[in-house]
Amino acid sequence: MTILVTGGAGYIGAHVVRLLQERGDAVVVVDDLSTGARSRVGDATVIELDVASAGAQEVLVAALREHQVDAVIHFAARKQVGESVARPTYYYQQNVGGLTNVLAAMEEAGVHKLVFSSSAATYGMPSVSVVEEKLHAEPINPYGETKLVGEWMGRAASRAWGLKFVALRYFNVAGSGWDDLGDPAVLNLVPMVLDRIERGEQPRLFGDDYPTPDGTCIRDYIHVLDLAKAHIAALQYLTHDSQPFDVFNVGTGTGASVREVIDGLAAVSGLTIDPIVEARRAGDPPQLVGSPERINEILGWHAEAGLEEILSSAWKAWQAGPRPIDV
């Protein structure tokens, strides 16, 4: 098969690209290289493009046709919750506009399979401790809204022109499947902590007054390689199943607090980590943990790594990168 991966040079995308290459697929990466790098995708064809830009649809149509693409995996998006609250129009422009171009190009080129990178942010502030896909999605920040709109767009396209669409609502991604594919952007908790330590600064902890046991947010942390394997499972589902539209949580069903993650990182690294407590960030719900029952049952996918393995792999990849920390 030939798979086009938007955002394929980024953190999660590069892991998926490597798995696709290992199983023998041809891969075309479309990425603006704002956080990713060509060196992360091996011998994949790379098209440097912001999928939300003017003219992107025409470039995508040409790529889909030239490479005879069988399916698309769509990662390319902006993903900072706080930034989305401050810049909602930009987030709609990038995330919804980008997907609009991708879907329009797929329809024009006759490509009918799409795996969509959605988010647990679609759930907002759920009233239950563990969320299932049937829960009403009510996002509380523009980032989550753009992901929910993306799901609606996929469902509409499946009805209108036969798109087969799977949305993966994943929770908090961390770790590294290979030392050279560590998280390159300082957007997620673990690299944010390590980035500040490497610069000689105290890490920041946003809010310790949430209604949780230790006052910090609880999240469902998933190893990036487990998440990448979920995308492969979703791709196989689209290839072999007649279901035109589906949504799956990708998580472990177990939560860990921000403070537990920081303490766990200290344990695996040998660092002393004493974060500064600051005010809550806008748009952060107290707890988000996902039920993996549907994806376990229907796709046969199961998370394998626990929190310690996630943090150990993240630390190892950081130390193998350009900014190792003296311990």
Nearest Cα residue to 312 out of 149, 156, 182, 131? 182
In a domain, 56, yes or no: yes
- Among this protein's residues, is 143 annotated catalytic? yes
**Of 197, 232, 250, which residue is a domain's last?**
250
- How sure is the predictor about 283, in pLDDT bands with cuts at 50, 70 and 90? confident
Q: What is the pLDDT of residues 9-43, one digit of tens each?
A: 999 999 999 999 999 999 999 999 999 999 999 99
292 and 231 within one domain: no
Token look-up 């996918």 returns 301
Domain count across the chain? 2
78 and 38 within one domain: yes
In a domain, 237, yes or no: yes
281 and 154 within one domain: no
213 and 147 within one domain: no
Check if the beta carbon of residue 251 is closer than 8 Å to that of residue 123. Answer: no
Nearest Cα residue to 26 out of 48, 10, 41, 7? 41
292 and 267 within one domain: yes
Distance CA 268, CA 301 (A): 27
31 and 61 within one domain: yes
In a domain, 284, yes or no: yes
Distance CA 136, CA 55 (A): 36
**Residue 133 has which token pair?**
């896909």
Given 143, 210, 221, 237, which residue is catalytic? 143
High-pLDDT (> 70) share of the chain, %: 100
Token look-up 């005010």 returns 279
Q: What is the mean pLDDT of residues 175-194?
A: 94
276 and 132 within one domain: no
Distance CA 281, CA 74 (A): 27
Q: Name the residue range of residue 143's domain.
A: 2-173+222-250
Q: What is the mean pLDDT of residues 111-122?
A: 97
In a domain, 326, yes or no: no
Distance CA 101, CA 110 (A): 14
71-74 vs 113-119, strand pairing mode: parallel
Q: 3-state SS of the chain?
A: CEEEEECCCCHHHHHHHHHHHHCCCEEEEEECCCCCCHHHCCCCEEEECCCCCCCHHHHHHHHHHHCCCCEEEECCCCCCHHHHHHCHHHHHHHHHHHHHHHHHHHHHHCCCEEEEEEEHHHHCCCCCCCECCCCCCCCCCHHHHHHHHHHHHHHHHHHHHCCEEEEEEECEEECCCCHHHCCCCCCCHHHHHHHHHHCCCCCEEECCCCCCCCCCCEECEEEHHHHHHHHHHHHHHHHHCCCCEEEEEECCCCCEEHHHHHHHHHHHHCCCCCCEEECCCCCCCCEECECCHHHHHHCCCCCCCCHHHHHHHHHHHHHHCCCCCCC
Q: What is the pLDDT of residues 198-243, one digit of tens each?
A: 999 999 999 999 999 999 999 999 999 999 999 999 999 998 876 7
**Of 235, 250, 265, which residue is a domain's last?**
250
In a domain, 325, yes or no: no
In a domain, 327, yes or no: no
In a domain, 303, yes or no: yes
**Residue 12 has which token pair?**
């999660």
Is 298's pLDDT higher than 90? yes
Supply the CATH number for residue 315's domain: 3.90.25.10
Using CA atoms in the order 302, 16, 239, 4, what is the torsion angle rounded to 10 degrees?
A: 160
Supply the CATH number for residue 137's domain: 3.40.50.720
Residues listed for the chain: 327
100 and 9 within one domain: yes
7 and 38 within one domain: yes
Nearest Cα residue to 174 out of 186, 190, 185? 190
Average pLDDT score over the chain: 96
Check if the beta carbon of residue 230 is closer than 8 Å to that of residue 295. Answer: yes
Q: Euclidean distance between the first and final Cα of the chain, in Å? A: 45
pLDDT score of 325: 97
164 and 110 within one domain: yes
High-pLDDT (> 90) share of the chain, %: 94
In a domain, 57, yes or no: yes
244 and 199 within one domain: no
276 and 234 within one domain: no
Check if the beta carbon of residue 177 is closer than 8 Å to that of residue 224. Answer: yes
Greatest distance between any 2 Cα atoms in the chain = 57
Is 147's pLDDT higher than 80? yes
